[in-house]
Chains A and B, each alone.
Chain A
Amino acid sequence: MKRTDRDKEQSRRVITRRALGLGALQLAVTGTLLWRLRDMQLEQADAFRLLAEENRINLRLLPPTRGPIHDRNGVLLAGNEQNYRVVMTRDDAGDIDLVLDRLQRLIGLEDEMVERAREDMLRNRPFVPVTVAERLSWEEISRVAANAPALPGVTPEMGLSRAYPLMADMAHVVGYVGPVSDRDLAREESPDPVLMIPRFQIGKSGVEREVEARLRGKAGSQRVEVNSVGRVMRELDRIEGEPGETLHLTIDARLQNYALERLAGQSAAAVVIDIPTGDILASASAPSYDANMFVRGISRTNYNALLENDFRPLVNKCVQGMYPPGSTFKMVTALAALDAAETDGRERVYCPGHMDVSGNRFHCWKRSGHGQMDLVSALSESCDVYFYEMSQRCGIDRINAMAERLGLGERYDLPMTSVASGLNPSREWKTRTRDAAWRIGDTVNVSIGQGYVLTTPLQLAIMTARLASNRAVLPRLLRDPLERAIPQAASLDLRPEWLEMVRRGMVQTVNDRRGTAYSSRVVEPTMAMAGKTGTSQVFRITQAERDAGIRRQEDLPWNRRNHALFVNYAPIDNPRVAVAVIVEHGGGGSTAAAPIGRDILLAALNEGRPPLGAYPTSQRNRINAEQEALKDRLRDLGSFRVSRA
């Protein structure tokens, strides 16, 4: 259509006006945008900058190196081992099945491990490294490294993991570490964030658990730049943490090794105390287990085998095991009677083989009776009737007090798991727990270490150390290698002449021809030994069994046989070492426990190995054969020594 000029003019005017209007609107909107940009970039820049930094910077904890544990001579008991492992990242691997298959053929992995790695990789985000195999040998890791081009996404890595070079020797004392559990977290008041690090390990038992705080160290931190999916791009800076403390135990690893091997094959325990200091030189509980199994993740089969073993390898019998002390308790009764001035010790008591107390007949172990007995001979020949008599004279209260003075019934503050207090019975205890009055028969039973009284091997060793030194020796497990002199323990204030009499009884037990442990005597004068045997009944022999003629221990099932105990110290004139040995259901103390106690004591006095010259000539051939048989099983600790303490 043809337009008039007027139309055209009007069209142009309208368009100009409206186009300018639209232009102004556009300018206004752009101005608003520019204002918004100014507001965000100039006014709020700092806030946004902060958010951007929070986005990109990630704080990571660096696990501290756990402190090593040494024995008293610088032998490594617990350390950190280089652990070669292979990790794989799905992102870089491409075809994970192919790479895993190659890896499996290269280092011979189990199907189960490969399957688990595959699942882990598919579950995690693609850039997360997954551990395929751990604890590889140097040779295996080299093979992986050499074949790197064929294994995309696979990296050989090195980490630290806890290792116990002495395997089973120290398992009960040092304990072991394991992954942090919810219960571990609950135990800490304000859990260290380091515990949240995956695969971080925490002490689960023994020293590892009880001294966790000092061993753990302080975590370091690392600031890394991460991208939007959390992959680390680079490290910005790092603060190194503090490694855990090095702990020095009082244990002598060489002696510990000997003690454990000497106990091998039995369910038994031995504790060796250094009398002047209270240092625990050895604390052996047999059988033991390899703590490394727990660090690596123990299989259910192996764990069940440990749980179901009759000899209870998981229990530290030295401090957890509570046993009736049997005749080893007689020193307590003797001192209680002397303390109460109920006897002067020289007074003789006639033993007809039994004693009737309020209508019950209490037998002496020697049915035919010991005849006239004074305190020394009653100890060395272990006459029960003498102590039945003495206990009735002085009463349970004094026996209880003397037992306490000698360290029985006390729960020692040691960095060990489940330290038991034993049971030092009293009238008050019986009314409280049994709701029954104390009877004279109870006292008579306690007088020979039967009945209610229960002790741990550690307590018996401490008791022996106290008898030998007249000091309130306290056990120690940790020592400071820099310490000069240990303050002497407080005096027990027992009258020297009484102690002298009790000690003479112990000396004669071993050295008198009629003593119960005469066959375990020591002929080397510098190692002259005193001791006391004990045989404690686990089950009362029933009348029916007596009638059936069961008299010999060997005829009873293992778990109903008597416990065999032996406590000893040496040298007589200047006591240095005290030992307590218990062989569970071992039969008689003089036959089952005393030879072990002697060997361990001699080993303690002679750098961990008993000298053949200390044994009576008549026994040397047999002892020599025994020692030769044991030799191969003993560990050479030279290679485990890290420093001379």
Chain B
Amino acid sequence: MSYLEYNTQRMPKGMAKVLYMNWPLVVLLIAVACYGFVMLYSVAAGNARPWMEPQMQRFGVGLVVMLVVAMVPIWFWRSVSGLAYGLTTILLLGVEFFGSVGMGAQRWLEIGPLRLQPSELAKITTIMALAAYFDWVDIKKISRPVFVLGAAVIVLLPVFLVVRQPDLGTALLIAAAGGAVIFAAGVHWGYFAGVIGSFVGLVVAVFTSRGTDWQLLKDYQYRRIDAFLDPTLDPLGAGYHINQAMIALGSGGWSGRGFMEGTQSRLNFLPEKQTDFIFTTLAEEFGFIGAGSLLVLYVMILGFCLVTVLRTSNRFAALLAVGVTANFFLYFAVNTAMVMGLAPVVGVPLPLVSYGGSAMLVLMGGFGLLQSAHIHRPRLPT
């Protein structure tokens, strides 16, 4: 691809670009972030500190980041994709060797005053690298094993490094978002069937072997899996948090218990109520109306992202937009499924709502790329 295929004459220029952004998406992002501000105010028992105020600042910075990224032409981002991916890989290796331990896992890299979470960065750069890769590969040869293998390597290298941290949740997210890009690029569905099929086969083998002489795992490992899959088995141990989260969520009812009236969060029965479990507080205090409307907003965001995907004829831009969308979807789907007891507890925040800086900035950067794709889409001569 080169920028020559764009009709540069019709490309918006300068500050006029702002007018050509995917504005409904911007509005939706702000709306979702406002849910976050309200909930962070509530979980701090009616105080702007320690969470709401910094979150607002970060979101402001996030909006600026999105705007800046959006202003830069998409072909620039394509040309730096490989570089960004390489840099991320180096940072991930840096975490491996020099990372500082936080929350029981090596995730942070401290460079001077900066605290970096390279695994967050990897979510976007992996998608960029894949999109660039499939833009480069000849469309007719795309399903050849050697090219599929290349894509797999691009995905699995950061996944492997993130698993080593160990951060299984993020690794799975990177893999799944990568999978979405590979799928969208048009790789033969047989590969996906094969991967899914062998995964299912492995799971079945592990479980059917339980209690037989060819048992694949040790007994204690099975017990851990049990508690992981069904936390209610162990209400005082690992399952305590998820049970409390479900109680909070369920007790919200139709209209919730009222703003700052959620007993589960106010009395500290909820774990990490400002981060991964913030959805439960929302559901407890604002009920189905609050939690359901947030899910609807998320779906609308997905919809407007899809608009960008469909409106661009640029292969890199479209694949990148698919990846960013998939990444965002995986965030909220895994998080809400987790607090509703449908998925095991893995550390995944609720996008734009949970308190946290790195994830927010990377997410907004991703939307910036999507906006850039939207602004700089090829336009047909009229």
Residues of A within 8 A of B (CB): 1, 3, 7-8, 10-12, 14-16, 18-23, 26-27, 29-30, 33-34, 36-38, 40-42, 44-45, 47-49, 51-53, 55-56, 225-229, 233
A51 to B244, CA, bound (A): 9
Provided the pairs A18-B183, A23-B306, A33-B333 are in contact, do residues A55 and B247 lie with their beta carbons within 8 angstroms?
Answer: yes
Instruction: List residues of B (212-230) whose CB comes within 8 Å of A's CBs.
Output: none
**Distance (whole angstroms) from the CB of A16 to the closest CB of chain B:** 6
B137: shortest Cβ distance to chain A, in Å? 9
The answer, among B136, B254, B292, for a CB contact under 8 Å with A1, is B136
Do residues B247 and A51 form an inter-chain contact, with CB atoms below 8 A?
yes
Q: List 22 A-B contacts (CB under 8 A).
A: A1-B136, A15-B184, A15-B318, A18-B183, A20-B310, A21-B183, A22-B325, A22-B326, A23-B302, A23-B303, A26-B299, A30-B295, A33-B340, A33-B342, A37-B288, A40-B249, A41-B249, A41-B250, A41-B254, A48-B250, A55-B264, A56-B263
- Say yes or no for B139: interface residue by CB 8 A criterion: yes
B268 CB → nearest A CB, Å: 4
Report the minimal beta-carbon distance from B228 to chain A, rounded to whole angstroms. 19
A-side contacts of B138, CB under 8 Å: 1
Nearest residue (CB) in B for A7 is: B139
In the complex, which residues of chain B have a beta carbon less than 8 angstroms from the beta carbon of A233?
A: 267
B298 within 8 A of A: yes
Residue among B288, B315, B325 making CB contact with A11, cutoff 8 Å? B315
Q: Please judge, given known A-B contacts A22-B180, A55-B263, whether A33 and B337 are in contact too, CB under 8 Å.
A: yes
Asked if B269 contacts A11 (CB within 8 A), the reply is no
B313 near A8: Cβ-Cβ < 8 Å: yes
Given A18-B186, A55-B264, verify A26-B302 contact (CB < 8 Å).
yes
For the A-B complex with A1-B138, A37-B336, A55-B244 known, give 14 more contacts whose Cβ atoms are closer than 8 Å: A10-B139, A15-B186, A18-B183, A23-B303, A37-B340, A40-B249, A41-B254, A41-B287, A41-B291, A42-B254, A45-B252, A48-B249, A53-B263, A55-B269
A29 to B342, CA, bound (A): 11
Count chain A CB atoms within 10 A of each CB in B1, B184, B250 and give the residue with the most. B250
B267 touches A19 (CB 8 A): no
The answer to whether B319 and A15 have CB atoms under 8 Å apart is yes
Partner of B246 from A3, A48, A49 at Cβ < 8 Å: A48
Residue contact A37 to B185, C-beta cutoff 8 Å = no
Partner pick for B288 among A15, A38, A225, CB 8 A cutoff: A38
Query: Which chain B residues in 176-196 approach chain A with CB under 8 Å?
Result: 180, 183-186
In the complex, what residues of B have CB within 8 A of residue A8's CB? 313, 315
- How distant is A431 from chain B, measured CB to nearest CB, in Å? 66
How far does the Cβ of B254 sit from chain A's closest Cβ, in whole Å? 6
Mask: chain B, 43-73; 1 = CB below 8 Å from A; 0 = not: 0000000000000000000000000000000
Residue on B nearest A31 in the bound complex, by CB: B299
Q: Across the interface, which residues of B come within 8 angstroms of A225, CB to CB?
A: 263, 267
Tell me the bound Cα distance from A61 to B185 in angstroms: 68
Assembly CA distance A15 to B319 (angstroms) = 8
B247 contact set on A, CB distance < 8 A:
48, 51-52, 55
Task: Looking at the assembled complex, report how far the CB atom of B302 sits from the nearest CB atom of chain A, in whole angstroms.
Answer: 6
Residues of chain B contacted by A11 (CB below 8 angstroms): 139, 186, 315
B307-332: which have CB < 8 Å to A? Answer: 309-310, 313, 315, 318-319, 322, 325-326, 329
How far is the CB of A52 from the nearest CB of chain B, in Å? 4
CB-based nearest A residue for B262: A52
Nearest residue, chain A, Cβ from B269: A228
CB < 8 Å: which of B250, B295, B315 contacts A45?
A: B250
> By the criterion CB–CB under 8 Å, are A19 and B302 in contact?
no
A residues in contact with B129, CB < 8 Å: none
The interface residues of chain A lying within 8 Å CB-to-CB of B246 are 40, 48
Contact A37 B251 (CB under 8 A): no
* Nearest chain B CB to A20 CB, angstrom units: 8
B357 at the interface (CB under 8 A from A): no
Q: How far is the CB of A9 from chain B (nearest CB, A)?
A: 9
Measured CB to CB, the closest approach of chain B to A164, in angstroms, equals 44
In the complex the two chains form, is A19's CB within 8 Å of B318's CB? yes
Q: How far is the CB of B316 from chain A (nearest CB, A)?
A: 10
Inside 8 A of A18's CB, which chain B residues have their CB? Answer: 183-186, 322
- A619 CA to B185 CA, complexed, in Å: 128
Q: Whose C-beta in chain A lies nearest to the C-beta of B270? A: A228
Question: Contact at B288–A30, with CB atoms within 8 Å?
Answer: no
Q: How far is the CB of B272 from chain A (nearest CB, A)?
A: 13
- Shortest A246–chain B CB gap in Å is 42
**Contact across chains for B318 and A3 when beta carbons are under 8 A apart:** no
Q: In the complex, are the beta carbons of A45 and B267 less than 8 A apart? A: no
Instruction: Give the chain A neighbours of B298 by CB distance below 8 A.
Output: 30
Contact indicator A19/B310 (Cβ below 8 Å): yes
B342 touches A36 (CB 8 A): yes
Q: Which of A22, A51, A52 meets B183, CB within 8 Å?
A: A22
Q: Which of B249, B251, B268, B302 interacts with A27 by CB under 8 Å?
A: B302
- CA of A22 to CA of B309, assembled, Å: 12
CA gap between A217 and B92 in the complex, in Å: 70
What separation, in Å, do the CA atoms of A393 and B177 have in the docked complex?
118
**Cα distance, A33 to B338, chains bound together (Å):** 10
Q: Are B309 and A15 in contact (CB under 8 A)?
A: yes
Q: Are A41 and B253 in contact (CB under 8 A)?
A: yes
Among the interface residues B244, B253, B333, which one has the most CB atoms of the partner chain A within 10 A? B253
Does B184 lie within 8 Å of A41, measured CB to CB?
A: no
Tell me whether B248 is interfacial, beta carbon within 8 Å: yes
B159 beta carbon closer than 8 Å to chain A: no
Interface pair A15/B264, CB less than 8 Å apart: no
Asked if B184 and A36 make an inter-chain contact with CB atoms under 8 angstroms apart, the answer reads no
Q: When the two chains form the complex, which single residue of A15, A34, A47 contacts B185, counting CB atoms closer than 8 Å?
A: A15
Closest 5 CB pairs of A and B: A48-B250, A14-B186, A45-B253, A227-B267, A52-B251
Scoring A12, A20, A30 by chain B CB atoms within 10 A of each residue's CB, the highest score goes to A30
B319: A residues at CB distance < 8 A: 15
**Does B348 sit at the interface, judged by CB under 8 A?**
no
B268 engages A42 (CB within 8 Å): no
Distance from B37 Cβ to chain A, minimum over Cβ atoms (Å): 22
Q: Does B283 reach chain A (CB closer than 8 Å)? A: yes
Whole-angstrom distance from the CB of A127 to the nearest CB of chain B? 12
Q: Which residue of A lies closest to B295 (CB)?
A: A34
- Complex alpha-carbon distance, A3 and B247, angstroms: 56
Residues of A near B329 (CB, < 8 A) are 26, 29-30
Are B252 and A41 in contact, with the CB atoms below 8 A?
Answer: yes
Measured CB to CB, the closest approach of chain A to B285, in angstroms, equals 12
- Shortest Cβ gap from B127 to chain A (Å): 13
Determine the chain A residues whose CB is within 8 A of the CB of B326 once the complex forms: 22, 26
Contacts A11-B186, A228-B267 given; indicate if A51 touches B136 (C-beta within 8 A).
no
Question: Bound complex: CA of A38 vs CA of B295, how far in Å?
Answer: 12
> Is A42 a contact partner of B288 (Cβ separation < 8 A)?
yes
Choose one: A7, A30, A34, A49; the contact of B250 (CB below 8 Å).
Answer: A49
Once bound together, how far apart are the Cα atoms of A41 and B336, in whole Å? 14
- Alpha-carbon separation in the docked complex, A228 to B267 (Å): 6
* Residues of the B chain whose Cβ atoms lie less than 8 Å from the Cβ of A51: 247, 250-251
- In the complex the two chains form, is A19's CB within 8 Å of B333's CB? no
- Give the CA-CA distance A631 to B283 in the complex, in Å: 79
Residues of A within 8 A of B263 (CB): 52-53, 55-56, 225
Q: How far is the CB of B246 from chain A (nearest CB, A)?
A: 7
Contacts of B337 in A (CB 8 A): 33, 36
A52 lies within 8 A of B248 (CB): yes
Q: Is the CB of B251 within 8 A of A19?
A: no
Pairwise interchain contact B295-A29, C-beta atoms closer than 8 A: no
